[in-house]
Amino acid sequence: MTGTWQLVRLALRRDRVILPIWILLLGLTPMSTVAAYEQLYPDAASRLALSVGAGANPSIAVIYGPAYDLTTAGGFTAWRYGLFLALFAALMSVFTVTRHTRAEEDSGRLELIGSAVVGRYAALTAAVAVAAGANIVIGLAAAAGLAGAGLPTSGSFLLGLGVAGAGLVFTAISAVTAQLTEYSRSANGIACAVLGGAFLVRAVGDSTASLSWVSWLSPLAWPQRAKPFVDDNWWPLGLALVGAGVILAVAYQLVPRRDIGAGLFPARLGPANAPASLSSPLGLACRLQRGSLIGWTIGAVIVAAVFGSIANGISDLVGTSEQVRQIMERMGGAQSLVDSFIAAIAQMIGIVTAMYAVQAALRARSEETAVRAEPVLATGTSRVAWVGSHLAFAVVGSAVLLGAAGLAMGLAHGLRVGDLGQVGGIVAGCLAQLPAVWVAGGVAALLFGLLPQLTTVAWGVVAVFALITLFGPAVQLGQPVLDVSPFTHVAKIPSAEFTATPLLWLAGTAIVLFGVAVAAFRQRDVG
């Protein structure tokens, strides 16, 4: 463990921007719901209607989890935010641990550090400590905010620490995946695949009465299964701590079984002779980016199909509350509730696609820090062609992902209601998110070109866009705040008419961002 404290300080120094963003957004978001709940459901009748409708609808449980008590602000907050806070905390944990372990090995920095007086377990311990500390701070901040808003203290701390517990489990999971492969992208991909599997397992258990026990197999379900503000069961928090400890012990057992820079899964040897397609920058970028695009597309298609199949059950969630109906219209348009729901899901898919666009745009930075860019640029390959080939995947790959997800959601919904004529409109609704996705990818590209040391801030920007878009209407944020997210300006198809002007402005903004990024990269030093 020698050198662990120094590596913790280094990690905190490197994450001095992104970690506070995660903590503020995840820690302070829940408290905003308390006052909104009183406005949305001002009387017992509206609260009872919500509880009966949402509590009895398995389609709604797929999205938010089980509703134990929606007649109180605390029960509503735990139902509305418990799952999504755990999901985002898990993502933060995965990215943080991988960034300070496997990514450091990719770049060669960890081998250099390891040649000094640094213990074999120091890097992993430091990464786990930083991620675990961030989760605990998020949990305490959420608990303090809810208690300060007037909710019972016991339930507030149970919900906050339950979210932190889910984050700790995925901190341990990412510590294991960091030992398995040679590349940080693959480690992140495996951990995110586990996260996606946990979400689907939870969805099956929460929506099927005879299989409710299945939800206990998913750490994402544990914060809600503790029933904060209802029964206040603390033992699921112990389950999270024990689970995280066991998985983390496995990670420590794997560390000495591999060399620094290598993974337990050996890298597959390539052919003796490279194909002709790898002779161009675009061909090389395609080879590097295709696995990520395929993985993101498969995940988006599965999630989109699930949401498409449950769209008809959205009326039970709204119940008799005119305020909630207005929120759905703000999120998805005003033509009908089902169309508004589909438009809102298309928006969510757009946010997920924005995460892919950021990852695709930042692949160039990964190649640069791993010293694989310099040998390529030492040939006749121009800088514009090299960086443009990677940014092309942020642009074109996003369109592929959105189109595939829109088709899956359209087919699932069309088959459920017996009307495949709606497929085209749903696909158009997903593709309408493309200019907003490009803006997010353009921000990542701009950071790569101008401030490469701060490229991780791009993830914080996407998180801000996501939280404003997903939760802003529910907590009744002002329009100037909602306008910060580019997804606010996208036409809510199929529930609203197509409007080209905002999309053209967003596309133009994205073009400027990508253009400035390429121009800046031409002028700066590589590495």
Q: Give CA–CA dist 40/377, Å, rounded.
A: 58
**Residue 239 burial by CB count (10 A; 0-12/13-18/19+): exposed, middle or buried?**
middle
Angle (CA) 241 242 247, round 5°: 100
Q: Taking the CA of residue 504 as centre, how many other CA atoms within 13 Å lie in the half-sphere pointing to its CB?
A: 4
Q: Is the pTM of this model over 0.85?
A: no
At residue 474, the pLDDT reads 66
Q: Give CA–CA dist 316/187, Å, rounded.
A: 40
Whether the Cβ atoms of residue 126 and residue 37 lie closer than 8 Å to each other: no
Amino acid in position 446: L
Q: Give CA–CA dist 133/91, Å, rounded.
A: 15
At residue 4, the pLDDT reads 85
At residue 401, the pLDDT reads 95
What residues contact residue 77 under an 8 Å CB cut-off, 6+ apart?
30, 33, 34, 37, 146, 151, 159, 229
Per-block mean pLDDT, blocks of 10 residues, the chain (527 long): 86 88 85 76 77 67 80 86 89 92 82 78 91 94 91 93 94 93 84 88 82 89 91 92 95 87 76 79 88 87 84 59 53 60 86 92 87 86 91 94 93 84 88 94 94 87 85 74 88 76 92 94 84
Q: Give CA–CA dist 449/255, Å, rounded.
A: 35
Amino acid in position 368: E
Q: DSSP letters along 119-156, please?
A: -TTHHHHHHHHHHHHHHHHHHHHHHHHHHHTT--HHHH
